[in-house]
Structure 1
């Protein structure tokens, strides 16, 4: 949002404040007012405004969930948890699924997996007694079990994902794979990433291939790791870490020329505007250039070494000089 747009939103908010003072019972005005705080990036006031609305209209669960989400964004997770738990206490026989799901998600984000699991199991016993619990909640319960070390229990829950094989479950499968990977269970993580990879044209294909490559690398299967790093790079060509890691693996196999090709600028690199506001091209990244310099030096390609390292040295000296000038006290 540019300055002009921010000014328009701020003026609209002031007008709404006056209108609300004139008619404090107009909920539509209050909702619009709260949304403008969010647009201005004032997360705290937006959260407080939505919470006030939820007190006036306790039946409006969506407003309550927005308030809880905004408090979470502000870093006030305890406030968010309190709002959601109070809602559940006030609805002992029937609660909105979204509130249960959001509460579990917030608790899991704060590593309170045991507490999250208790809420999910309570929901299963009270709200879904004799019924199938929503898959989204079941998977969250499984992920909690992973973090709590109950791997066998989690695998029983996750078997639903394998049996249904629904492309709409890609997000849930990714969450499961990410949970296993974050805890170092690379075999299990790989199993679920490969489930995703088997679906042609999957969303975030490059990300999935990168995760598979990292799993294989952690499992010491370098050949498959290289294969999937190449696949990942096809979709994530600007990913410096992916390119750098792949180059290191190739170098370990003694393939210096292949590594140089991987790290060298593309033929049309001169036509790319590197001074724009966009992220600078991968071939201008210092990490890439330094790796190229090490290869050139090891191979005795001193002219290429100098041509590559000179811009880095010049940039470093420029930054150092600029910092010195900024630190000179004015007389």
Structure 2
């Protein structure tokens, strides 16, 4: 189910509406045999619009909606009647979605708020009717404007998870277990690599009714920035997490080395990721005594806060929440 229900990348063909043509018409009625021009304007072609929805968490609903074709504008008509505008096409997407042009790779839209609307492709303008072209020297213009063409092309919609904290670590580091303990999320947990195939989100209840969002992201491996393992499917989701929690298991063969490998994958993918706030959590630490904790602490970088936790034994989790909240809200004082 995980593979089929969570879609974070989709390719769709979009074509906005053609503008309606202006009318070439002259007033004719039983009282007027040779009236002036009264051709109306054409209607605007329909736009294709992206709209953010907080109720969506995947692009799955667009999997079978690969061709988005918008209505054309209606042609103008006599009596200076303007044609009807084409009905805009609204594409609802989850928050955190970006739209790129497939050919150029340029990001054309970014949806971050519920109800936010961005025109992805503008419909063509309607043409002007011949009534606009009457002059003192040409009182019976025989021409009007055609409507403008709409836009068309392939677009890439890409979802990047919006969360305050992203859990970063090798497969089977204990990230899913941690998420299940500190939030109400129920990620799949098993003792093998790549249990988590898609991002899992959970809300952490903090003091005084406050909360923040944590994302358990698919496990990273060395070479992920080059597309190995889950590659870019993992890495693109951490671009919007202001705080990254590196989860390193207590039984790792090299805690500092593991941290440096993870950090290097972030650097290879996007050097700007290194500007985020880092915290290291040594998971499964219920198997450690004080002497081992002290030895591991000496391995870790001095400029990165660290904490020893155990999700199963419920050790250090309150302090971990305090650390994460402090990182997200630097100026706020935490009262014990």
TM-score normalised according to structure 2 size: 0.23
Identify the structure with bigger relative contact order (alpha carbons < 8 Å, sequence gap 6+).
Answer: 2
Q: Which structure carries more helix by proportion? A: 1
Q: Which structure carries more strand by proportion? A: 2
